[in-house]
Structure formats: C-alpha cells, structure tokens
Amino acid sequence: MDLNDLLADVDGIGGDYYVPSQPAEAPNDVPAAPAPVTTGTAAPPVRPAAADTLTEALEMVRDAELEVYVELGTAHLPLREVIALADGGAFTLPTRPEDPVKLFVADQCIGHGEALLIDGRLAIRINELYQFTS
C-alpha cells in the first residue's frame, strides 16, 4: 500500500491527494523542481468527550444570573374591574396562602414550592424541581 492508498482510506479527510511514486525527470537545461503534492483539508481537531464538553460549557455559564419568578395565583377579572384598579386597591386570588406556588425561569415552569416569611420577608421553600428534558 502506498501513501495515496493510505490517504484515500483516512476517514474524515476530504480532498484529492497526489504523491508521485518517483521524482519527475527534468530536462538537462532546466533545474529539477520539487514534485508537486496536492493535499486536501486537514483532519478535524480531536474533540473531547461529550461529557467533558458539557462540563466545560456549564462551567463557563455557572455564574450567569437568571431571573426566577413565582406565580402566586391567577385572577380573572372583568374589564370594568381592571379599569377601576388604582393605587391602594386590592383584589383576591383564588389561592390560599398554604397553596403551592409555581417557580419559573425564562417562562418555563421549573417546579413548585410554598410561600413563607423569613425574618419578615417573603420567601419560597422549594418542594419539587422538575427534571429537564431536551
């Protein structure tokens, strides 16, 4: 097997290859030039395993801040009540304080929890986070 056969069998490398079996003879009055060799594209770089790539990608974005929001409940109000809303006004939700609340990131519900007070501030205890699927 010669070099042309080896190059033709390499997976992932495209292009045409020419490797002469012996140098071309030059006429007596012209100096010999090196034989031309045409190569294709280089082999793709060796990539790390998928798990390593995912780990590296997660490490790069680990400190990115995401907005997490909580849905306490949804009320359905007639238009006349929405128009009448004013500072200091209130409306009720069909949920009770002990009912679970939904947790969202980027408009995606990621789980649920319960509202509570910690040091006089509203807090959420996470009861369940949903599994993510692709």
What is the pLDDT, as a whole number, of residue 12?
A: 45
Query: What domains are defined for the chain?
Result: 1-50 (no CATH), 61-129 (2.30.330.10)
Backbone phi and psi for residue 126, each to the nearest 5 degrees, phi listed first? -80, 120
From residue 7, how far is each of 21, 35, 38, 39, 44 by CA, in Å? 14, 18, 11, 9, 15
Mean pLDDT by 10 residues, the chain (134 residues): 49 48 55 60 60 83 91 93 94 90 94 94 94 70
What is the pLDDT, as a whole number, of residue 98?
A: 86
The residue with tokens 């306490």 is 72
